[in-house]
């Protein structure tokens, strides 16, 4: 019984943790993401971040803002798919332990 509880609880705890982390990242991006990208574009941040954006002569800041938005949406979708997979995996373990 104890192994069944651990096997079904672990994917749920992991999924909730991933959703909490994703929500935190999304909130931070919504609050500071565009500001950070703009300051990186203008080379006003630390040197490590300034090196991430190279191509100011070819692309405008809007190009980098668009790519930031695309990447954050991809991150959110991938984590949502991961959580759905964990949910299905935990249900399969539950059904395998108790077929009725």
**Is the CB of residue 26 less than 8 Å from the CB of residue 80?**
no
pLDDT tens digits along 60-96: 999 999 999 999 999 999 988 988 887 777 765 555 5
**Is the CB of residue 87 less than 8 Å from the CB of residue 11?**
yes
Q: For the chain, which residues make up each domain, given as ranges?
A: 18-86
Does 24 score more than 70 pLDDT?
yes
Q: What is the pLDDT of residue 26?
A: 94
pTM, to two decimals: 0.72
Residue 45 gets which letter from DSSP? S
**Is the CB of residue 13 less than 8 Å from the CB of residue 90?**
no
**Is the CB of residue 80 less than 8 Å from the CB of residue 72?**
no
From CA 75, how far away is CA 78, in angstroms rounded?
Answer: 5
**Is the CB of residue 34 less than 8 Å from the CB of residue 65?**
yes
Q: What is the pLDDT of residue 84?
A: 85
């Amino acid at each position: 019984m104890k192994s069944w509880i651990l096997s079904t609880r672990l994917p749920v705890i992991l999924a909730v943790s991933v959703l909490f982390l994703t929500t935190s990242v999304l909130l931070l991006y919504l609050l500071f993401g565009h500001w950070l990208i703009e300051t990186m574009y203008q080379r006003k941040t630390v040197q490590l971040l300034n090196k991430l954006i190279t191509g100011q002569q070819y692309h405008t800041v809007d190009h980098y803002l668009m790519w930031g938005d695309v990447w954050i949406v991809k991150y959110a979708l991938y984590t949502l798919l991961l959580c759905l997979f964990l949910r299905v995996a935990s249900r399969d373990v539950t059904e395998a332990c108790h077929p009725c």
